[in-house]
């Protein structure tokens, strides 16, 4: 094991192999606090194009709760696409959920229409850790893109009990702090076909990432 791993907790999961490092070219938006502040890398998959002309701003700052159909303040990744975002100042492990990922799932009758993505995090941009996400499950717990955004505003959008979205607790990975979040679409795995991969809005649609604050 390389010496640089010496500061990792013994009982924590190992870094994921084969993840590309953050480029470090990310220019943080100084006007944003408490949400993703820059896009370090964007690797969508064709034919997804929704929101791309408004990148990076469309995925920075707070989410915009949508109506019944979910937010359109999103960028679509396409099936298998990924995006890497930075949070200026990083996110510390505090009691409970530390950050929220907002997609645009919506409820249609008795089902919630989801487009899941696996969530990876890194402090140094080199070693990446993955939150376990079973995208093939009917209710893909542990993935982003599962829980609708609540119709709240202001600081409530950073309140894990009120905002909706999918919450992630760094303690689950044995990490004290992160600066980078990477999302990789798993929509194809979830549905088992290409049904939701086509079109401009194919795959996971990122709205925002919020650092949780205690109310
Ligand atoms: Ca925590
Ligand atoms: Ca989509």
pLDDT tens digit sequence for 40-80: 999 999 999 999 999 999 999 999 987 666 788 999 999 99
Kindly give the distance from the C-alpha atom of residue 7 to the centroid of ligand 2, in angstroms, as a whole number.
39
Kindly give the distance from the C-alpha atom of residue 168 to the centroid of ligand 1, in angstroms, as a whole number.
8
> Could you list which residues have their CB under 5 Å from ion ligand 1?
93, 98, 169, 171
Ligand nearest to the CA of 172: 1
Kindly give the distance from the C-alpha atom of residue 18 to the centroid of ligand 1, in angstroms, as a whole number.
26
Query: Quick check: 3 pLDDT over 60?
Result: no
How many residues can be counted in the chain? 215
Encode pLDDT of 103-118 as tens digits: 998 888 888 899 999 9
pTM above 0.85, yes or no: yes
pLDDT of residue 69: 64
Residue whose pair of structure tokens reads 């099936």 in the numeric block: 79
Kindly give the distance from the C-alpha atom of residue 83 to the centroid of ligand 2, in angstroms, as a whole number.
14
Kindly give the distance from the C-alpha atom of residue 94 to the centroid of ligand 1, in angstroms, as a whole number.
4
Helices (H), 98-140: none
Kindly give the distance from the C-alpha atom of residue 89 to the centroid of ligand 2, in angstroms, as a whole number.
30
Let me know: does 98 contact 113? Beta carbons within 8 Å. Answer: no
Let me know: does 183 contact 38? Beta carbons within 8 Å. Answer: no
Ligand nearest to the CA of 177: 1
Using CA atoms, how far apart are residues 118 and 144, in angstroms rounded to an integer?
6
Domains of the chain: 46-211 (2.60.120)
Residue whose pair of structure tokens reads 């109310």 in the numeric block: 215
Query: Quick check: 193 pLDDT over 80?
Result: yes
Kindly give the distance from the C-alpha atom of residue 15 to the centroid of ligand 1, in angstroms, as a whole number.
19
pLDDT of residue 1: 45
Encode pLDDT of 116-166 as tens digits: 999 999 999 999 999 999 999 999 999 999 999 999 999 999 999 999 999
Q: Buried b vs exposed e over 180-202: b needs ≥16 C-beta within 10 Å? A: bbbbbbbbbbbbeeeebbeeebb
Kindly give the distance from the C-alpha atom of residue 172 to the centroid of ligand 1, in angstroms, as a whole number.
8
Kindly give the distance from the C-alpha atom of residue 205 to the centroid of ligand 2, in angstroms, as a whole number.
5
Kindly give the distance from the C-alpha atom of residue 211 to the centroid of ligand 1, in angstroms, as a whole number.
11
């Amino acid at each position: 094991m390389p010496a640089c791993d010496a500061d990792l907790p013994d009982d924590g999961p190992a870094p994921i192999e084969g993840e590309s490092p953050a480029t470090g070219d990310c220019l943080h938006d100084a006007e944003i606090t408490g949400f993703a502040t820059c896009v370090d890398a964007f690797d969508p998959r064709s034919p997804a194009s929704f929101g791309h002309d408004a990148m990076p701003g469309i995925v920075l700052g707070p989410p915009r709760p949508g109506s019944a159909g979910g937010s359109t303040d999103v960028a679509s990744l396409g099936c298998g696409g990924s995006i890497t975002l930075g949070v200026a100042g990083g996110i510390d492990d505090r009691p409970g959920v530390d950050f929220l990922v907002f997609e645009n799932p919506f409820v249609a009758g008795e089902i919630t229409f989801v487009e899941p993505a696996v969530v990876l995090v890194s402090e140094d941009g080199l070693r990446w850790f993955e939150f376990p996400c079973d995208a093939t499950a009917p209710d893909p717990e542990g993935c982003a893109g599962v829980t609708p955004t609540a119709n709240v505003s202001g600081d409530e959008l950073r309140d894990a009990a009120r905002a909706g979205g999918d919450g992630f607790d760094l303690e689950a990975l044995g990490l004290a702090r992160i600066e980078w979040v990477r999302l990789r679409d798993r929509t194809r795995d979830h549905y088992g076909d290409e049904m939701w991969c086509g079109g401009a809005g194919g795959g996971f649609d990122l709205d925002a990432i919020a650092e949780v604050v205690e109310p």
